Each structure stands twice: as structure tokens, then as C-alpha cells.
Amino acid sequence: MAYLDELASGRNGERAPGHRYEHVRVSDNARAHLGDTYHSDTYHVGLEDPFSRLPHAEDAPFNAYSKQHEPKCLPDTRIDLLKVIHSWADRQDQRCIFWLSGLAGTGKSTISRTVARSYYDEKRLAASFFFSRGGGDVSHAGKFVTSIAVQLAHNVPACREHICEAIASRRDIASQSLGDQWQHLVVRPLSLLGGLSSYVLVVDALDECDNDNNIRIIVQLLAEARTLTRVRLRVFLTSRPEVPIRHGFYQIADAEHQDYVLHNISPSVVDHDISVFLEYNFGLIAQECCQAADWPGQVVIKKLCQSASGLFIWAATACRFIQQGEPYSKVQKARKEEVVQPDQRDSWSDRTPVIAASYIFAGQVAPNSCRECSSKAI
């Protein structure tokens, strides 16, 4: 810091002649003094970090600490859909939004995490925001734009200076409307970039935002990505097909967004992906338990896949049930709790994952089959 003090005042207590000092700060990626200018991300002597005035949701990014155990798409799953998404992201047309809609449990968030990770690794992810109902700061829109701005400054370093300028010139920016925040913290900084770069913004589960009016506003703000010319911003958005989101899209030209309905994918394709998911998870369970490598067998996997009826959340719940403790005791407990007999059900898919899995596994797991590993979760 002594060296910085000298830079700020000169060796004789005055500013060094011929040098210009901008509002900058010391940072991990500080650059060297270039010519007669100390640039805006190099030295910030005695001034606060502008980003300290931007409240942000720590759980919003796809790679937040709280999400580190959340799944991504397994290899050989969602192949066609991911190709469609990547093709859209790389195009230069006006369809700046890709809206992936689907019923609860169809795997939307898993796809979002996969897309976000892919573009993050390519250094093309502008930001990501994963809404979650009842999830604190990610359950509302209050920190939506500011969280994106903080990530944008980190993921796209060329934007940082322009975002800092917006914060400095509007000290109350964090308390302004979503529209004003979006214009000054996201759209304008991106519009000032040079080159022909392309970035992807991922917004997951927008339907879980707690205010319908804010949902509609966010959809319309995201569509403003079409106004960017020198830099392309593609927005990958997922949600259930709820009314507020549909109303938001009614005000956007069809040519400006691409829609994809997840639960309309061919059942055979979804069943294949769920089978891969089940085989992968049962493989992990078998490694932790005293089971054969091919346990529990294709017959059981096929029955579970049929019971899932296209819902990944169903398959995931069944796997967790089987994994939590000794399988035989789990089966017996679940069967005792089942009130309706199997032949009174119209189909296996009517059953909860726990009950269906218990019946399917009843003949596959015998007492003491995992005696050596009884203390482990399987």
C-alpha cells in the first residue's frame, strides 16, 4: 500500500505529473500501469468497492455452494434437446429467448444446470439465476437484476468498468425499478462492448418467483436482449407453463423467442433417458452395497421406468428411497403403509415412488442380503 500511496500523491506529496488516476481499486486481476493512465480495474485508492452497494443472492448461480450436489444431465441423455438448445444459442437470428416449459418433475432444472455449466466452461455464460419457491433471496425478484450484474462483472470482465460507472452515477440503483436496474446494470454495459461476442444468460424456474407482476416484467426485460447489436445475449429460460409467463410472452413477437415444450417429447425418448438415469444410480448403490454389478436387473429397471411415467423426479425419489438404509426393511415398511392393494390401482404410475418401488423390489431383495454392509446406506 505504501507504493500506492506514493502513486496517489507523488514522492513529494503531490500527484505525479502527467498521470491520470481514475476511480479504481486493487483487485486480484490487477493490471500493470499502462502509459500515463491507471486503468479502472487496477488501483482503487481509498475508495469503496462499488459492488458492495449491489445486494445479490448467493444461491442464485448454477454453481452456488448450495447447489454443488444438484444433478446435471448424464451422458447419453437429452441428446436431441441439448443439440437444439446449442444450435439456437449459436445462431444470429432475432430469437433471443429460448423458453423451455414443462410440468413439474420433468427435469427442467437439471437441463438448466447442464446448459449453464457448458457455457460457463466455454467462458460464454453471462450469468445464471435459479429461482426457488420459499428459497429466501431466490424466491423473489428483489435481487434478480443486481445478482445478474454482479455475475456479469465477473464472467465478462470488459463489462465491469461500465457497471461500476452505473453504480457510481446512481447510488440508489439497487432500490430502483427492475426496468431501470436492467437498463443501467445489464443492457447498457453490454451495449458498450466491442467485438461480436455472444453470451448466454440462464434463468431457471421463473414460475417460482413469488410475484406474478414481476414475472411478467422479467419476461419483457429479458426480451430486450434483442436490442443489443455488437454483442449477442441469448436467454435460456425455464418454467412451468403458468399464466403470468404466457402473458409475458403474449407481448413479445413470435419471431423473438423459441418455445420448446418438454413434456411433449416422445415417451420413448424420455423412457430411454430415465432408464439411463436409473441404471447410473443403481450402479452407485450397488458399489456401496454387497450387490452384483447388474443389480437389480433390467426387469426392475423397466418396471420403475414405466411407473415414472416420464417424470424424472419420480425416478429420483424412488432411488433415494432405495438408497436410504437396508432395502428389505424399507420394502417391508412401505408395504405395511400401503392401504390400497396393487390390483386396486389403475396403473403403477398412480403410485407414489416409495410405494411402487417397495412392491417392485419385494421379490428382488431378501432379508440379510446386505448383512455385510448393513451399516451403510445403499
The C-alpha atoms of residue 155 and residue 184 are separated, in whole angstroms, by 17
Which residues lie closer than 8 Å to 311 by C-beta, 6 or more apart?
Answer: 103, 105, 106
The C-alpha atoms of residue 180 and residue 194 are separated, in whole angstroms, by 23
Q: Which residue has better confidence, 377 or 20?
A: 20
Separation in Å, CA 57 to CA 19, 64, 115, 271:
39, 10, 20, 36
Three-state SS sequence of the chain: CHHHHHHHHCCCCCCCCCCEECCCCCCCCCCCCECCEECCCCCCCCCCCHHHHCCCCCCCCCCCHHHCCCCCCCCCCCHHHHHHHHHHHHCCCCCCEEEEECCCCCCHHHHHHHHHHHHHHCCCEEEEEECCCCCHHHCCCCCHHHHHHHHHHHHCHHHHHHHHHHHHHCCCHHHCCHHHHHHHHHHHHHHCCCCCCEEEEEEECHHHCCCHHHHHHHHHHHHHHHHCCCCEEEEEEEECCCHHHHHHHHCCCHHHEEEEEHHHCCHHHHHHHHHHHHHHHHHHHHHHCCCCCCCCCHHHHHHHHHHHCCCHHHHHHHHHHHHCCCHHHHHHHHHHHCCCCHHHCCCHHHCCHHHHHHHHHCCCCCCCCCHHHCCCCC
Omega prior to 296 cis, within 30 of 0: yes
Q: Where exactly are the structural domains of the chain? A: 1-47, 65-264, 267-373
- The pLDDT of residue 321: 82
Mean pLDDT check: name the lowest of 219-228, 320-329, 361-370. 361-370
Whether 340 has a pLDDT exceeding 50, the answer reads no
Class of domain 65-264: alpha beta
- The pLDDT of residue 351: 53
- The pLDDT of residue 78: 97
pLDDT band at 288 (very low <50, low <70, confident <90, very high): confident
Q: Is 352 left (phi over 0), alpha (psi -120 to 50) or beta?
A: beta
Question: Grid coordinates standing for 137?
Answer: 433471496
pLDDT band at 318 (very low <50, low <70, confident <90, very high): confident
Q: Which residue has better confidence, 312 or 19?
A: 312
- The pLDDT of residue 4: 35
**Radius of gyration over every alpha carbon of the chain, rounded to an integer in angstroms:** 26
Mean pLDDT check: name the lowest of 12-16, 69-73, 83-87. 12-16
Q: Nearest Cα to 67, choosing from 122, 162, 173, 138?
A: 138
Mean pLDDT check: name the lowest of 158-172, 213-227, 333-347. 333-347
What average pLDDT is seen over the chain? 80
Whether 150 has a pLDDT exceeding 70, the answer reads yes
The C-alpha atoms of residue 370 and residue 328 are separated, in whole angstroms, by 9
With a pLDDT cut of 70, the percent of the chain lying above it is 73
pLDDT band at 5 (very low <50, low <70, confident <90, very high): very low
Question: Grid coordinates standing for 237?
Answer: 429460460
Q: 105: buried, middle or exposed (CB in 10 Å: 19+, 13-18, 0-12)?
A: middle
